[in-house]
């Protein structure tokens, strides 16, 4: 697989802490606006430029997309290393450019569908800024030789930047600009058979679409690559991604209908966290939790996912939720928020039922991507999230 070094644009050391931001797609326009008001040099001014405009401005309009920031370019073609420390969990990834051609050839593998509007907005952002401002989150099947090729930098160099965020997560950023080291990393990755998108399907799809639009406007060597960070798969952590639902069905009727496909057991642990695959927690309110265990589990990887079983056996036939990406009767709660919030949402905030899920495994994700299949929406919640702004790829 191809990993390409580049002359990245990076913020000055004295402004890094105020510049770096969360991924654009996990903050609202209003949240970004408030951050920009408090901090005028926030990178949200670039990654979420619509935050500076009124609500009636189209976030994909030309005026919005032409907003830009000021960064300093490195002198040499470089790779970068991004290390995150969250408690005892450590993950270390290579920051590089990744091939549009390999994406189109299916070597950079997907597991999610994208929403057309969101993809179009990101495409315009890339086209008008001529930049990749947020990295695509990638992984590869871990290999000690490949890992060592870039991860040894954390043993031999001091980080260029260290940031501790509000959650106490440590973010370290390193630069590899030695020519021999750069070539060694490129060579090591030639043995990798595929990359897998962990998070950032819209960013990747937008970069590919914008590449075609930018033909003749920027150098081919720039437009045919996009910014990403790739990690060994065994360093990544997927958390549970839970569901809350609005529906008028009575509790007794729901439990009766569930008995067709699940073994149902009342449980007194609150809130209930599933202990293994094929256990789903159901909260019906007033402190009442149940365990749902499917009576029949399909053999193929996709159909045996708990999120797929829930969709096919519960959300669609009982609640009538056919497309969870657009149906307003369902919402999703990332595991980082804990499970107590599920009880609060049902008991106090107008939701009727909550489902606590066992996390999807990285191995299942890769197997499904290898088979060319698509997982249900919101199947995975990776944590920690990647920050945006440590380095930017500006084309031309």
Model confidence over 234-287: pLDDT tens digits? 999 999 999 999 999 999 999 999 999 999 999 999 999 999 999 999 999 999
Q: With 60 as the cut, is the pLDDT of residue 69 above it? A: no
d(CA 225, CA 112): 21
Establish if 299 belongs to a structural domain.
yes
Same domain, 175 and 43: yes
**How confident is residue 17, by pLDDT bands cut at 50, 70 and 90?**
confident
- For residue 169, the SS3 value is coil
Q: Which residues contact 213 (CB under 8 A, 6 or more apart)?
A: 123, 127
Expressed as residue numbers, the domain containing 313 is 241-358
Share of the chain above pLDDT 70, in %: 93
341 token code pair? 């919030």
Same domain, 37 and 169: yes
Model confidence over 198-249: pLDDT tens digits? 999 999 999 999 999 999 999 988 999 999 999 999 999 999 999 999 999 9
Establish if 196 belongs to a structural domain.
yes
pLDDT at 12: 81
Q: With 60 as the cut, is the pLDDT of residue 326 above it? A: yes
HSE-CB of 225 using CA atoms within 13 angstroms: 22
- pTM, entire model: 0.89
Same domain, 161 and 268: no
**How confident is residue 54, by pLDDT bands cut at 50, 70 and 90?**
low
Please give the average per-residue pLDDT across 58-85, as a whole number. Answer: 71
Quote the number of domains for the chain. Answer: 2
Same domain, 252 and 319: yes
**How confident is residue 115, by pLDDT bands cut at 50, 70 and 90?**
confident
Same domain, 329 and 182: no
Bridge-based pairing state of the strands 225-232 and 136-140: parallel
**How confident is residue 15, by pLDDT bands cut at 50, 70 and 90?**
confident
pLDDT at 76: 97
Establish if 368 belongs to a structural domain.
no
H or E stretch at 253: helix 251-258
Q: Which residue has the higher pLDDT, 42 or 388?
A: 388
Same domain, 15 and 147: yes
Same domain, 321 and 213: no
Same domain, 337 and 224: no
Same domain, 104 and 223: yes
pLDDT at 77: 97
Establish if 106 belongs to a structural domain.
yes
Q: Measured in whole angstroms, how far is the alpha carbon of residue 268 from the centre of its chain?
A: 33
Please give the average per-residue pLDDT across 37-51, as a whole number. Answer: 71
| Dihedral over Cα of 219, 225, 229, 231: its sign | negative
**Around Cβ 230, how many Cβ atoms within 10 Å?**
27
Q: With 50 as the cut, is the pLDDT of residue 180 above it? A: yes
Same domain, 175 and 122: yes
Establish if 176 belongs to a structural domain.
yes
Same domain, 272 and 321: yes
**How confident is residue 99, by pLDDT bands cut at 50, 70 and 90?**
very high
Establish if 50 belongs to a structural domain.
yes
Same domain, 54 and 196: yes
d(CA 195, CA 103): 9
Bridge-based pairing state of the strands 131-132 and 393-394: antiparallel
Establish if 370 belongs to a structural domain.
no
8 A C-beta contact, residue 176 and residue 153: yes
Establish if 108 belongs to a structural domain.
yes
What is the dihedral angle through the alpha carbons of 169, 172, 16, 31, rounded to the nearest 10 degrees? -30
Q: With 50 as the cut, is the pLDDT of residue 63 above it? A: no
Q: What distances in angstroms separate CA 303 from CA 109, 131, 306, 309, one per listed residue? A: 19, 38, 8, 7
């Amino acid at each position: 697989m191809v990993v390409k070094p580049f002359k990245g644009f990076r913020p000055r050391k004295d402004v890094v802490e105020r510049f770096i931001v969360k991924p654009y797609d996990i903050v609202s326009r209003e949240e970004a606006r408030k951050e920009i008001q408090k901090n005028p040099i926030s990178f949200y001014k670039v990654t979420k430029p619509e935050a500076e405009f009124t609500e009636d401005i189209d976030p994909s309009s030309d005026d919005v997309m032409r907003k830009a920031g000021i960064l300093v370019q490195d002198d040499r073609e470089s790779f970068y290393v991004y290390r995150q420390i969250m408690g005892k969990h450590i993950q270390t990834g290579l920051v590089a450019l990744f091939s549009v051609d390999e994406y189109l050839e299916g070597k950079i593998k997907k597991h999610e569908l994208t929403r057309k509007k969101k993809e179009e907005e990101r495409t315009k952002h890339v086209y008008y800024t001529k930049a990749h401002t947020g990295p695509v989150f990638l992984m590869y099947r871990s290999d000690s030789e490949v890992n060592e090729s870039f991860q040894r930098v954390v043993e031999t160099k001091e980080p260029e930047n260290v940031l501790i965020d509000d959650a106490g997560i440590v973010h370290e950023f390193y630069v590899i600009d030695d020519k021999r080291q750069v070539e060694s990393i490129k060579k090591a990755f030639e043995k990798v058979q595929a990359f897998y998108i962990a998070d950032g399907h819209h960013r990747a799809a937008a970069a590919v679409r914008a590449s075609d639009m930018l033909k003749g406007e920027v150098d081919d060597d720039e437009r045919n690559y996009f910014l990403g960070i790739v990690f060994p798969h065994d360093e990544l952590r997927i958390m549970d991604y839970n569901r809350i639902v609005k529906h008028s069905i009575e509790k007794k009727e729901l439990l009766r209908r569930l008995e067709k496909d699940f073994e149902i057991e009342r449980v007194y642990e609150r809130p209930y966290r599933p202990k293994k695959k094929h256990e789903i927690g159901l909260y019906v309110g007033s402190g009442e939790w149940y365990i749902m265990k499917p009576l029949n589990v399909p053999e193929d990887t996709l159909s045996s996912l708990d999120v797929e079983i829930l969709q096919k056996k519960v959300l669609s036939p009982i609640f009538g939720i056919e497309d969870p990406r657009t149906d307003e009767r369902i919402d999703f709660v990332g595991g980082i928020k804990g499970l107590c919030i599920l009880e609060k949402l049902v008991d106090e905030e107008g939701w009727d039922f909550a489902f606590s899920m066992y996390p999807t495994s990285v191995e299942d994700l890769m197997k499904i991507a290898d088979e060319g299949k698509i997982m249900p929406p919101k199947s995975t919640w990776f944590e920690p999230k990647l920050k945006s702004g440590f380095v930017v790829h500006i084309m031309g």
